[in-house]
Amino acid sequence: MPRTIWSGAITFGLVTVPINVVGASEDHSIHFHQYHLPDQGRVRYRKVCELEDREVPQDEIGKGYELTKTQVIPITDDDLANLPLPTAKAIEIDAFVPLESVDPIRIAEGYYLQPAGQVAAKPYKLLVKALSRSAKVAVAKYAWSGRERLGLLRVRDDVLVLHAMRWPDEIRDPTELLPPPTEVSEDEIAGALALMDTMTVDALEGPEFTDRYTEAIAQIIEAKREDKPLPAVEEPEQPAQVLDLMAALQESVSKAKASRGDAGPADVHELPRPKKKTATKKQPAKQTGAKKTAGRRPRSA
C-alpha cells in the first residue's frame, strides 16, 4: 500500500468522513544521479549553514520567513499543523457542480481518499453513492504544505478521488494567443470531423499509450551495460507545409483508416473552388483584424 500523505476528514454539512490521503499515481520514469566524469564519484548537494560555513544535519534545519535581511521569523511544523483555518484538518466541501462545468486546465494531480477505520465506512459509502447518482462532483477547500488549496472530489471505481485545483487567478488569459483572423469552410470542418471519427478510441489503452521515452532510455542503459552499439535513431517525419487543407485531411483520414484495417474510401468532400467575390468582400475584414492584432500588447513574463 502507498504511504499516507495526510490524515483528516471530509466534511459536508454536518457529515464527517475520517479519511487518509494516499497517492493515486506512480512515477515510472528513469531517474539519473550526477557524477564526476573523470572518476565516476557521486556528486551530491549538501546543506551548509552560511554563517558557520559547515554542513548541518536535518534535525538542525527548520522553516522560517525572512521579514528583513537580519530578522527571520521561525515557523515550526506544529505551527503549520495548527493553522487558524477550518481546512487545516479537514477537506471542507463548499459546493456540488456538474463535472462539465469545470475547465480541465484547472484540474491538477489526483489522490485517493481511504476511509480511516470502521467508523468512516458508512459516511464514506454515503458520499460515494450520492456523488455517483447525482452525476456531480464536489468542490472543496483544504490546507496542505503551507497553503490553502481548492479541490475537486469525484468517484472512481467506488473510491473517492481528490484532485488539486488551480485558483481562478492562477489561470492565464489565453486571448493574446489567438491566431490572426481567418476563415474555415464547412467542408474543411467536416473533413476534420471525419478524421476525428477515424481516430476515436473506446479507452486510452494499447501500445500507442505507452511511455516510449522511458523505454528508449532503458534500451540505452542496457546497451551500455552490455557494451553493445546504441539503438539506431529513427528519423522523424518532417511535417510538410500544408498548402491544400482538404487534401491533407483526405490523406490523413485514409492513413488512419488503413492503420485500423479499414481500406474504405474516406468520406471527405472535395475542396470547393473559391469565388472571386469572397476575396473582394473580405478585404476590409482583414484590415480590421490587422489593426486589432497590432494594438494588442504581449503579456509580461
Residue type, 62: G
Residue count of the chain: 301
pLDDT of res. 243: 60
Q: Read off the pLDDT band of 213 (50, 70, 90).
A: confident
Q: In 3D, which of 139, 135, 250, 124 has the Cα closest to residue 192? A: 250
Q: Does pTM top 0.75 for this prediction? A: no
7-11, 14-18, 192-196, 286-290: segment of lowest average pLDDT: 286-290
Q: In 3D, which of 95, 79, 89, 65 has the Cα closest to residue 144? A: 89
pLDDT of res. 280: 42
Radius of gyration of the chain (CA): 28
Q: What angle do CA 187, 190, 194 make, to 5 degrees?
A: 140
Q: What is the pLDDT of residues 199-209, one digit of tens each?
A: 888 887 887 78
* Backbone φ, ψ for residue 123 (5° rounding): -65, -30
pLDDT of res. 27: 79
The proportion of the chain whose per-residue pLDDT surpasses 70, expressed as a percent, equals: 81
Summary mean pLDDT of the chain:
80
Q: What is the pLDDT of residues 3-34, one digit of tens each?
A: 888 888 998 888 889 999 998 888 788 888 99
Q: Is the pLDDT of residue 224 over 60?
A: yes
pLDDT of res. 299: 38
pLDDT of res. 298: 38
Cα 108 from Cα 105, distance rounded (Å): 8
Q: Is the pLDDT of residue 123 over 80?
A: yes
101-126 mean pLDDT = 92
Residue 72, C-beta contacts closer than 8 angstroms, at least 6 positions apart: 64, 65, 66
pLDDT of res. 239: 58
pLDDT of res. 270: 46
pLDDT of res. 144: 80
Cα 175 from Cα 184, distance rounded (Å): 19
Q: Grid coordinates standing for 294? A: 497590432
Give alpha helix (H) positions in the chain. 77-81, 121-134, 186-198, 212-225, 245-259, 276-295
Q: Is the pLDDT of residue 220 over 60?
A: yes
- 3-state SS, residue 199: coil
CB-CB neighbours of 160 under 10 Å: 23
Q: Is the pLDDT of residue 233 over 70?
A: yes
- DSSP, residue by residue, 201-260: -SSS-SGGGS-HHHHHHHHHHHHHHTT-PPPPPPPPPPPPP-S-HHHHHHHHHHHHHHHT
Burial 184-214 (b: 16+ CB within 10 A, else e): eeebbeebbebbeebeeeeeeeeeeeeeeee
More confident residue, 78 or 49: 49
